[in-house]
Amino acid sequence: MKKPIKVDLVAGFLGSGKTTLLRHFLSRSGGERVGVLLNEMGEVELEDKLVRQARAEVVEFAQGCLCCQSPNELVLALKSLARNAPDRILIESTGIADPARILATLSEASSLKGLISIEPTIVVVDAAGFFSLFQTLAYYYVMQLRAADVVVLNKADVATRAQLAGAEREVRKLQARALVVRARHGRVDLHGLLEGEPSAEPSGYQARRLTIDGTLDPAGLRELLERMPGGIYRARGRVRFPGGCHRVDYRNGSYAEEPVTAPEAGPANDLVFIGSRFDGRGLEARLRRCVLEEGTHGGA
């Protein structure tokens, strides 16, 4: 069965550093084939050489700004980009677009069912100019940050300590569940963060992979994921329940699972946790408490 194309929405105001972030991602995409859907009114311009090196395909949304178009036009543009079967598509959103509306369009479109998998939404924020911009653009900031799964506090090199700490504090007030990472010149190991791989750069997050044997209690695992320890924003992987193998995905307070074919070899349960400031040992202990004792289930 063909894997769905991973789709990430990238939002942020002009000057926040979206261009630099996307360029950096393409230069370190981990071998993924990437498609980029750009706004005609956006700020992003990607060099041809970089696009070729990353095996990327870039399509400009010719109808203008995503915030102004009908849902059908966005779906058609996305399906056009998906024809070449990239591993991931990044959608650039303008600073005045409502991410929640775009995400709703993607999740509700029947023609995209099974074709795409909606992945974390990334919002880029100018840490140095946050408070001055927030005074005049508060509505748009609130709209974007409440839809964010990952917030990149960019320009950490030019922001003062007070500006950086204050911006992070306000961001967390608006979206407590988001993973907040600090960056200089858009240098975030975005691929590693999204895929749960160790960070090669000081982006302020950690990823931990836990593999254990046994059959898990579905209710116990769901309770663990829905009551995640502080600092974890994403968990996903493969687990074994009494009824068989399932893929589970926790993101920003939302939990989903689906049955999948069990692998021929490897651990019964293989999960990746992504976040910051979390106790890995404590998390592993909680996960092991979800293992059912032999004889208490009907077998996989």
pLDDT value for 164: 94
Cα–Cα distance, 237 to 209 (Å, whole number): 9
Show the CA angle centred on residue 41, arms to residues 182 and 152, nearest 5°. 10
- DSSP strand pairing (116-118 vs 88-92): unpaired
pLDDT 10s digits, 33-53: 888 887 655 455 555 555 666
* Domain spanning 206-288, CATH class: alpha beta
- Residue 180 has phi, psi (to 5 degrees) of -105, 120
Amino acid at 150: V
**pLDDT band, residue 300 (cuts 50/70/90):** very low
Q: Which two tokens stand for residue 167?
A: 């911006």
* Domain layout of the chain by residue ranges: 5-195, 206-288
Cα–Cα distance, 53 to 26 (Å, whole number): 8
pLDDT 10s digits, 249-284: 888 778 889 898 888 788 899 999 988 878 889 999
Which residues have a Cβ under 8 Å from the Cβ of 90 and sit 6 or more positions away?
7, 8, 10, 22, 25, 34, 35, 36, 37
One-character DSSP codes across 19-64: HHHHHHHHHT-TT--EEEEEETTS-----HHHHHHTT-EEEEETT-
pLDDT 10s digits, 123-167: 999 999 999 888 888 888 899 999 999 999 999 999 999 999 999
C-beta atoms surrounding 299 within 10 Å: 9
- Average predicted confidence (pLDDT) for the chain: 84
pLDDT value for 284: 93
DSSP bridge partners of 114: none
pLDDT value for 203: 79
DSSP bridge partners of 271: 210, 237
* Domain spanning 5-195, CATH class: alpha beta
Nearest to 257 by CA among 267, 278, 271: 271
Q: Residue 204's Cα: distance from chain center in Å?
A: 15
Nearest to 90 by CA among 45, 121, 51: 121
